[in-house]
Structure 1
Amino acid sequence: MPSSQPETDRLTPGTALLLATAPLMWAGNAVVGRLAAPLIAPVALNFLRWLLALALLLPLAWPVLRPGSGLWPHWRRYALLGLLGIGSYNALQYMALTTSTPLNVTLVGAGAPIWMLAIGALFFKAPVSRQQVLGALASIAGVLTVLSRGSWQELLALRLVAGDLYMVLATLSWALYSWLLVRTDQPASIRGDWAAFLMAQMVFGLAWSGLFTGVEWSLGRWHASWGWPLAAMLVFIAIGPALLAYRCWGLGVQRAGPVMGAFFINLTPLFAALLSAAFLGEVPHGYHGLAFALIVGGIVISSRRS
């Protein structure tokens, strides 16, 4: 629905804090996912994360689950959004973190705007400008730098870590999710209510995640080491990346606009590098800095007007 308010407002310290909190939480999610890899199977981790998040969100958004709410006449669209954004993206990210580092995962994920550009052009007939093509080439070069570990010979030899490929699939899932998100009409009972909108996706995403967890168990890949470390990780990823980040991001974009938000989201790899060094002892390499510069540069070029 068109708005009479301007797309962007002046960036205040409070708005900057909101926009920076979300990528900090998402970087923390990657680090915790790496720490949790020896303790619990990745798909099960995703299921338990969203199960706890749903329980926390229920007091705010329970009316959306009533039989007469606007959710059920549109259940198919929310089931698809839940599959892509909750059931698939997060599970693939945790699977990626079993073999790849948080920094690599977040850098590959930072190429999401490029996949959004490609999916928009292929499936939604979205126009593509010359600046967007140039930006796409720069950002793709950044993603390839991560995948090759800074060695083009290694990329040509296809010696890739499985986790990086899982993250490419996760990023494709997120790109398609984002397009469907903006193309989905919201019922009146859900429109403008962040908690209801998240709950509408979460209830179906949790069902998908439960199904995938069952497949993981049937394949003999389910495992869990219960204890306070795992419990603390689950509480963090349910409250921080799943609920707090979503709320801060929504408020920040409302105040500063989506263009300004796009620059802040690329803080995620930087935060991931700092947190990885602090908690995992994984020191960034020179090619990580080059990849970050290429990805951010590509997005800056893409966002410029002709």
Structure 2
Amino acid sequence: MKRLLINKPWLVYVMLALSTSSWGSAFIAGSYATEDLSPLVVAFFRFFFAAILLIPIMLFMDKGSRRPQGKEWILVSLLGLTGIALYNIAFFIATRDAPIVKSSLFIASNPILIVVLSGLFLKEAITKRNIIGLVLALTGATIIITEGQFQQIIESGLAPIDLVLLLAVVCWALYSVLGKVALQKLSSITTTTYAVVIGTLMLFPFVFVETTIEELQQASLLTWGSILHMSLIVSVLSFIMYYQGIKMIGAARASIFINLMPLSAVILATILLGEKLLLVHIVGALLVISGVTYGTWKVRPKEKRGEKYGTISSRF
């Protein structure tokens, strides 16, 4: 597989496009799953099944690597709390109660908040480019979440679901910033596996309150199929493909493919759920994607001719 990717670099981009596009399908799968089960229960089972797969994968791929020690347990616990437990509760509430078009496009503004929080907490430089990108992305997110009805929102305030979407964005940004700290000592697969396991354990006690054995038995095949899709494809396979892509072409170029997530979510929502894509959504999406791309793109010196794919082969 590695040799094939090295000999045909375009396959790396196909792999990244498929992995990030599959993240958009989680919005649709979440909408289906929450028809029968509560958001909290769906979140638990999504990562319960993912943990079952990630643990052996970690033991195989990361054999002999460091595991969390001392205060690092606090760090991976915070990752489980913010990125697995809280984010996914908010995510599945949003997929149940908000239009997918709206929620996916709003959450797409995440990378810019990550840049800001990295500057505040990790002392990473915030450039003029970051600020311009932030303004563009926030403008687009505001247009999406208000659907252009600015005066109405000012008078009545944000709806509860809008606050849930905001919580999701903040939790994922915190998870990403904490993840940067964890990745200085632990590998990506180890960090993710421990976060998933701990987050799943945090969700476990609430399952007894939110559901019964009878409800689980009565849940449709579509519900369980949607949960398995999010576990196997979105949470495990796409993760491996995405981080393999990072190894091949670097994080800067790979991160641009994340913009395919809201695009795939919007397309699937209009086709499968019959949601309407309004002009205001398109305008907001263009601003968000432009802001994220411009604000997070790292300008690098021009590559010398003949070295376009040098980083791919040098990674192995």
What TM-score do the two structures reach when normalised by structure 2?
Answer: 0.82
Q: Structure 2: how far apart are the matches of 1:291 and 1:102?
A: 14
Secondary structure of 1:250's aligned partner: helix
In structure 2, relative to structure 1, the CA distance for the partners of 1:161 and 1:22 (3 Å cut) is farther
Alignment of 1:74-153 (within 5 A): 74-153=72-151
Checking the alignment, whether the CA contact within 8 Å between 1:100 and 1:161 is kept in structure 2 is: no
Secondary structure of 1:266's aligned partner: helix
**CA shift at 1:245, angstroms?**
1.4
Structure 1 match to 2:196? 202
Checking the alignment, whether the CA contact within 8 Å between 1:27 and 1:268 is kept in structure 2 is: yes
Instruction: Report % sequence identity.
Output: 22
Give the aligned residue type for 2:177.
W
Checking the alignment, whether the CA contact within 8 Å between 2:20 and 2:258 is kept in structure 1 is: yes
Q: Structure 2: how far apart are the matches of 1:124 and 1:292?
A: 29
In structure 2, relative to structure 1, the CA distance for the partners of 1:185 and 1:16 (3 Å cut) is closer
Q: Structure 1: how far apart are the matches of 2:244 and 2:49?
A: 23
Structure 1 match to 2:37? 40
More helix by share: 2
Structure 2 match to 1:162? 160
**CA shift at 1:39, angstroms?**
0.8
In structure 2, relative to structure 1, the CA distance for the partners of 1:12 and 1:63 (3 Å cut) is closer
In structure 2, relative to structure 1, the CA distance for the partners of 1:300 and 1:71 (3 Å cut) is closer
Structure 2 counterpart of 1:217, from 206, 210, 219: 210
**CA shift at 1:212, angstroms?**
4.6
In structure 2, relative to structure 1, the CA distance for the partners of 1:56 and 1:227 (3 Å cut) is same
Give the aligned residue type for 2:9.
T
1:281 aligns with 2:279: no
Alignment of 1:227-242 (within 5 A): 227-242=220-235
State the Cα deviation string for residues 77-126 of structure 1 (Å, max 9, x = none).
21111111111111210011121122211111111122113322333332
CA RMSD of superposed structures (Å) = 3.0
Checking the alignment, whether the CA contact within 8 Å between 1:104 and 1:164 is kept in structure 2 is: no
Q: Structure 2: how far apart are the matches of 1:33 and 1:181?
A: 24
Structure 2 match to 1:4? none
1:191 aligns with 2:184: no
In structure 2, relative to structure 1, the CA distance for the partners of 1:72 and 1:227 (3 Å cut) is farther
In structure 2, relative to structure 1, the CA distance for the partners of 1:212 and 1:260 (3 Å cut) is farther
**CA shift at 1:142, angstroms?**
0.6
Alignment of 1:11-26 (within 5 A): 12-26=9-23
Secondary structure of 1:97's aligned partner: helix
Gaps of 5+ in 1: 1-8
Structure 2 counterpart of 1:247, from 229, 235, 240: 240
Q: Structure 1: how far apart are the matches of 2:167 and 2:76?
A: 21
Q: Structure 1: how far apart are the matches of 2:23 and 2:114?
A: 19
**CA shift at 1:159, angstroms?**
5.1
Give the aligned residue type for 1:51.
F
Q: Structure 1: how far apart are the matches of 2:7 and 2:112?
A: 27
Checking the alignment, whether the CA contact within 8 Å between 1:132 and 1:301 is kept in structure 2 is: yes
Q: Structure 1: how far apart are the matches of 2:184 and 2:292?
A: 29
Checking the alignment, whether the CA contact within 8 Å between 2:16 and 2:242 is kept in structure 1 is: yes
Gaps of 5+ in 2: 1-5, 301-316
Aligned residue pairs: how many? Answer: 290
Structure 1 match to 2:47? 50
Give the aligned residue type for 2:192.
L
Checking the alignment, whether the CA contact within 8 Å between 2:129 and 2:294 is kept in structure 1 is: yes
1:264 aligns with 2:231: no
In structure 2, relative to structure 1, the CA distance for the partners of 1:138 and 1:236 (3 Å cut) is same
Which segment is superposed worse, 10-19 or 175-184?
10-19
Checking the alignment, whether the CA contact within 8 Å between 1:34 and 1:101 is kept in structure 2 is: no
Structure 2 match to 1:3? none
1:61 aligns with 2:48: no
